[in-house]
Structure 1
Amino acid sequence: MVNRKENFGLACDMDEFWVFGYGSLMWNPGFEFVEQSQALVRGYRRSLCVRSWVHRGTEQNPGLVLGLDRGGSCRGMAFRVASDLWHEVIEYLRERELVTNVYLERNLSLQLAGGRSVKGVTYVVDRNHTQYAGALDAVAAAQIVHEAHGRSGPNDAYVFNTLAHMKDMGIRDHWLEQVVDEVERLRAA
């Protein structure tokens, strides 16, 4: 049976509910799921493109956190949610991801590790939001990350932790690795 999930704001018929994570959601989803798989999204890339004014920086000296921005592709984790938990999980995700509305809820095509294609809910950066930092090169991102500190600690700890978790999961992100290399260079200088 196909269920129309219009009340979720999703634009398609779904007989399965998948969630795509590209940052901390990959290793800390915070909800029950019945299946998980590495997945690839085309047309979007993982990027330190969201200014953090609270947790990893301040309004005077913002840090950077991850967003899913247009262009390229992104490998992350997809989680399939049991149908009786769809409503609970989407509400949880909205509370977690839409706090300042810097992200937009989208239903994107995912290619799972086995090659199967599914639709999945994810959160992409709103390029019109004041917290959108734009497309930064690795050197510029590293400079910001190196200098910022917020309520949840230093910005570089967030980036290093993210990369360590991704490596543990077998997910590479060459741009993020370049940012970490640049931050280490700044630390040594």
Structure 2
Amino acid sequence: MSNDPFFHHPELADLITKPEDSFFRDFSITKLASILTDRGLPTGWWHSDEERNAMRQAALSEHRSEDLWVFAYGSLMWDPAIRFTEVRRARVQGYQRRFILKDIHGGRGTREAPGLMAALDRGGECEGLLFRIDREAIETETDILWRREFVGPAYFPVFVPAQMSEGTVNALTFVADYDAELIVPELSRTEQLEYLVTGSGFLGDSADYLRNIARQFQLFGIEDAEVEALYSGMNLLVK
């Protein structure tokens, strides 16, 4: 195997943030609490470090002692924060990318002006990226991954068959948790567009989140009707 993580997809090398440059590489509850306190936003709604680590250990308990594949479908595609040995284009059947995460905690929206982000939901299919983590680095890198993705309730971890050009691998991914306050599967198109236009937080604007997704998908060559429809609708509203 090549030592170049981008051996199979050299076109992705300049499109994915280096781990050392990622905001999320050293992300922690302490860092988050400081940011939210400075902005006068509510704190304490998150998982404790002990809870988060217990969820991580449970999710990985049946993973064999081999490299770990992670399937990314949203911002994790271009800013994974983890160190990986290989990246591959992939498709997952039975799950679809949906904009049903209503951000109210300050990342890209607040309770007064919610933001919107993508989650993986059941049904359809989803194209994204697979990142391969060396088995010797699983403990360190999944700790970073969990601190990025499991700040508070929103997802649950699952292993899914991910199809790439050379076959299928069992990959870890994060699916919408319908019991979480942030997951709102019945959002109307009007509400989605409103949250995209008005949502803003310490990670940036929801509108920029969608623009980045649309731009990156175009560069990656990924077609997504939902992204295209939301992007077109948002542009009509902000003109």
TM-score (norm 2): 0.71
Q: Distance in 2 between matches of 1:20 and 1:158?
A: 19
Alignment correspondent of 1:70:
122
Q: Distance in 2 between matches of 1:38 and 1:119?
A: 14
Per-residue deviation, residues 133-155 of structure 1 (Å, max 9, x unmatched): 21445454223211222233321
Contact 1:104 1:124 (C-alpha < 8 Å) held by counterparts: yes
Whether 1:34 aligns to 2:70 is no
Q: 1:73 to 1:14 in 2, by over 3 A?
A: farther
Alignment correspondent of 1:172:
223
Paired AA for residue 148 in structure 1: G
- Match for residue 99 of structure 1 among 151, 157, 164: 151
SS at match of 1:166: helix
Q: 1:86 to 1:21 in 2, by over 3 A?
A: same
Structure 1 stretches (4+) deviating beyond 6 angstroms? none
Per-residue deviation, residues 106-142 of structure 1 (Å, max 9, x unmatched): 1111001x14000111111101111112144545422
Contact 1:105 1:122 (C-alpha < 8 Å) held by counterparts: yes
Q: 1:35 to 1:152 in 2, by over 3 A?
A: closer
- Match for residue 90 of structure 1 among 136, 142, 155: 142
**Range moving further from structure 2, 140-149 or 115-124:** 140-149
Q: Distance in 2 between matches of 1:164 and 1:153?
A: 16
**Range moving further from structure 2, 29-38 or 172-181:** 29-38
TM-score (norm 1): 0.88
Paired AA for residue 175 in structure 2: V
**Superposition CA RMSD, Å:** 1.9
SS at match of 1:128: coil
Alignment correspondent of 2:102:
51
Alignment correspondent of 2:234:
183
Whether 1:110 aligns to 2:138 is no
Q: 1:61 to 1:6 in 2, by over 3 A?
A: closer
Q: Distance in 2 between matches of 1:93 and 1:145?
A: 25
Higher strand share: 1
SS at match of 1:61: strand
Alpha-carbon offset, residue 30 of structure 1: 1.3
Alignment correspondent of 1:17:
68
Q: 1:14 to 1:147 in 2, by over 3 A?
A: same
Paired AA for residue 42 in structure 1: Q
Q: Distance in 1 between matches of 2:59 and 2:117?
A: 26
Paired AA for residue 149 in structure 1: S
Paired AA for residue 82 in structure 1: D
Alignment correspondent of 2:210:
159
Q: Distance in 2 between matches of 1:48 and 1:182?
A: 14
Paired AA for residue 183 in structure 2: Y
Per-residue deviation, residues 14-65 of structure 1 (Å, max 9, x unmatched): 6331011111111112112111111111111111111112111111221111
Contact 1:160 1:180 (C-alpha < 8 Å) held by counterparts: yes
SS at match of 1:62: strand
Paired AA for residue 83 in structure 1: R
Query: For structure 2, which runs of at least 5 residues remain unmatched after alignment?
Result: 1-55
Q: Distance in 2 between matches of 1:12 and 1:153?
A: 35
